[in-house]
Structures are given as C-alpha cells and as structure tokens.
Amino acid sequence: MVLLPIEKASWLEKGCSQVIGCDFRETFTPVVKPATIHTILSIDVIKRWSLRQVEVNNVFLNGDLTEEVYMQQPPGYVQTYANGKPLVCRLNKTLYGLRQAPGAWFDKLKTFDLSKFDAFLFIRVINQSHMYFIHVPIDIHFMEIKRILRYLDATIDYELHIRLSKRLPLVGYADANWGLDFDDRRSTTRHFVYFDGNLISWCSKKQQVVSWSTAEA
C-alpha cells in the first residue's frame, strides 16, 4: 500500500479589491483584550461563578454573508459555459480575507446560547526542541535538561494568583526610568493594574521617543 501525501489549501478572498458601500458596509468587530479576560476571571473567583468555554473550527466560514459578493473560481476547479466563458462564484458564507468576515462571525456568535457540556479529557501537547533528542540523548542534552530543571526549581513559586475577596478595589502602579539606555537614551515605562488584588494588566516596554525630563518620562 502506498501512502500518498496529504496536502491542504486555503481558499481566500482578495479583500483588498472590495469596494466600501458595494461589497461591504461594516468592518468593526469587538476584540477582547487580555486585561478584560483577567478581569472576568477575577470576578468569577469573587462571585464563585462557573465559566464555560467553546472553540469553533473554521470560524469565519460560519458567518452568513448578507452582501452580494462574487469571486473567481480557484485554479484547477474552473467551470465554464458552453461557449467556454468561465463562470464566477457567488459567496454565501464569509471566506477568510473578506473585510466583513469578522463582523459576520460576531453577528452569528452573539445569537448563541451556550449550554452545559459533558466532562471530557483535556490533553495539552507541548512541542519543544528540547524533546527532540529523547531517544538518542548525549551529554549536551543531559546538561540542557539539568539547566531546565534548575530553572523550574528556582521559579516554582512564580505564578499568577487569583484570590477571593469581598472588596473590589482597582489599584494601579506606574513607573519609568529616565534615559537609562545609554545607546538611544530612551526610557522604559512600566505599569501594573490590580483588580481586587489580582494582577489583570501589566506592561514593561521602551518608549518610542526620548524624554527630556523625569516628569515627561
């Protein structure tokens, strides 16, 4: 038996050729920021709520297209009229690449009523370069494993805690060093935001321009 290689291809729409007002109208889609997720998790712990999660495959293909959009047939699947003129495809679903695809999916998503699901086994697969040599290890691989174990032992207490409390204070801390990078003299800004003692947002990055004073930094 000969096993043939399996190849996959994605059929994308050239959204750059769409005309606003003709091919699409709205492109806005709400996007959840990490700080929002951290806040919801904190409230979940405080209120003792039950969270549920759902994952959708080929998410954009679930959106319904309300506009009348046509596109060329993909190479290798071209159908023609009797006179040899190629047909075109009219889209019923939002393909990846359409300007309105994220918004159409959100319109479908907001009508969902998520119900309870049965418990099942979760499996997390970790694929790292350190695991490639497990069958034929040499000394350098053992040294690398020891280094990883030492790192894990030293950072075993480093974790993000979400605690239960009856109060809901929102506390923020901000700081910046002034021109301590001697190569470009740009400062580094840092901030941490805690909601009820739980860290929900943080940042530590170099500023884009040079500050002329500590107050400006």
CB atoms within 10 A of CB 184: 9
Alpha helices by DSSP H, listed for the chain, are 34-47, 101-109, 139-154
pLDDT exceeds cutoff 60 at 80: yes
> Which of the four pLDDT bands, split at 50, 70 and 90, describes residue 113?
low
Pick the residue with more confidence: 174 or 5?
174
For the chain, the maximum distance between any two Cα atoms, rounded to a whole number of angstroms, is 76
pTM for this prediction: 0.47
Greater confidence, 2 or 139? 139
